[in-house]
Homo-oligomer: A and B are copies of this chain.
Amino acid sequence: MSKPEVTTSRLDDAARAGWLYYVAGNTQDEIAAKLGISRQSAQRMVSLAVSEGLVKVRLDHPIAHCLDLADRLKKRFHLNMVEVVPTDPGSSSTTLGVADAAADEMTRWLKSETPIIMGIGTGRTLKAAIELLSPIECPQHKVVSLTGNIAPDSSAAFYNVIFNIADKIKARSFPMPLPVIASSPEERELLHAQAMIRPVLELSAQANVAFLGIGDLEDDAPLFVDGFISRDELLALRRAGAVCEIVGRAFNREGIPIEGLTNDRVASARIPSRDTATVIAIAKGAKKMPGIAAAIKGNLINGLITDEQTAEALLR
């Protein structure tokens, strides 16, 4: 996928058109007249502004039902922070909505003046969230990756998002130049003992807040699809009772890590403790239900961003 390569001046015009359209409420015809271009071009400008993500729409309304669900989830599972976004009944996207909410929540943390350490997991949802993050400058913060960023084929792991977020927010970032899953427990220990890695692991333990995706372990489990584990390993995990994976580590339905198997080789940092950090999972959808439930039961998380449907299912 090659970038469309939009020049700056073009984006400026797009922003201008977008502003006139969304903020000033002009029609495309009016914009065309003001900018001295044809209506069609104005339309293109506006849609470019949208597709380039310049236009951010936010709804300032705690939709009652969602709030209600969030409140009940919080009480029932002793969570500190729950955000429930409305479910779009027609869409099957696993990131729509929750990614927006996650981006908003990240922004809330990043706005803090006092320096914070933010741990970042991995996954599609997280990647979508960070794509939606508005750029803000916060050099006072540190962002630390909780997972390695090297895929089995030695390429950069695509869903490792530490660079994306660091780029957006201009904070100091701490990637983990490691494979996600080491070839043996011994190798993992060796890697973790490296001078380059140790400080990152220590930093991740001090995180004030962490954002995590939850991966399912069905046949198209991200861990398998992305080539981090083999089909046999996936099946073995399932046989051992694993229902989900967080930063590469597999857990059973009680939220207890699976003993042995790939878990012994996962090179990710420990999930920050709920006692010292706000640990927020971002997940929605039926597939992830067991995983979310496990994460809650195992006291792995104290924050959750999900959607209405999933929230309702969790409460049953």
List the interface of chain A (C-beta within 8 A of B).
Answer: 8-9, 11-12, 14-16, 18-20, 22-24, 26, 30, 34, 36, 49, 53-65, 67-68, 71, 86, 88-91, 96-97, 100, 107-108, 111, 134-135
List B contacts of A59 (CB < 8 A).
15, 18-19, 22-23, 49, 54-56
In the complex with contacts A8-B64, A36-B108, A86-B56 CB distance below 8 A: no
Smallest CB gap from A21: residue in B: B57
Smallest CB gap from A56: residue in B: B58
- Give 11 CB contacts A-B under 8 Å: A15-B59, A15-B63, A16-B63, A16-B67, A22-B59, A23-B68, A26-B88, A36-B111, A49-B59, A55-B59, A56-B57
> Once the chains bind, are B65 and A60 in contact (CB under 8 Å)?
no
> Once the chains bind, are B54 and A24 in contact (CB under 8 Å)?
no
In the complex with contacts A8-B64, A18-B59, A111-B36, A23-B90 CB distance below 8 A: no
In the complex with contacts A64-B9, A97-B23, A55-B54 CB distance below 8 A: no
List B contacts of A18 (CB < 8 A).
59, 61
Complex CA–CA separation, A57 to B49 (angstroms): 12
Complex CA–CA separation, A100 to B15 (angstroms): 16
> Once the chains bind, are B53 and A60 in contact (CB under 8 Å)?
yes
Instruction: State how many angstroms separate the Cβ of A183 from the closest Cβ of chain B.
Output: 43
Q: Which of A23, A89, A97, A107 has the most CB of B within 10 A?
A: A23
> Once the chains bind, are B34 and A90 in contact (CB under 8 Å)?
yes
> Once the chains bind, are A65 and B12 in contact (CB under 8 Å)?
yes
Instruction: State how many angstroms separate the Cβ of A133 from the closest Cβ of chain B.
Output: 10
Smallest CB gap from A34: residue in B: B89
List B contacts of A23 (CB < 8 A).
57, 59, 64, 67-68, 96-97, 100
List B contacts of A36 (CB < 8 A).
107-108, 111
In the complex with contacts A30-B90, A89-B34, A61-B20 CB distance below 8 A: no
Smallest CB gap from A24: residue in B: B88
Complex CA–CA separation, A54 to B67 (angstroms): 14
List B contacts of A90 (CB < 8 A).
26, 30, 34
Q: Contacting A24 at CB < 8 Å: which of B8, B97, B107? A: B97
> Once the chains bind, are B56 and A135 in contact (CB under 8 Å)?
no
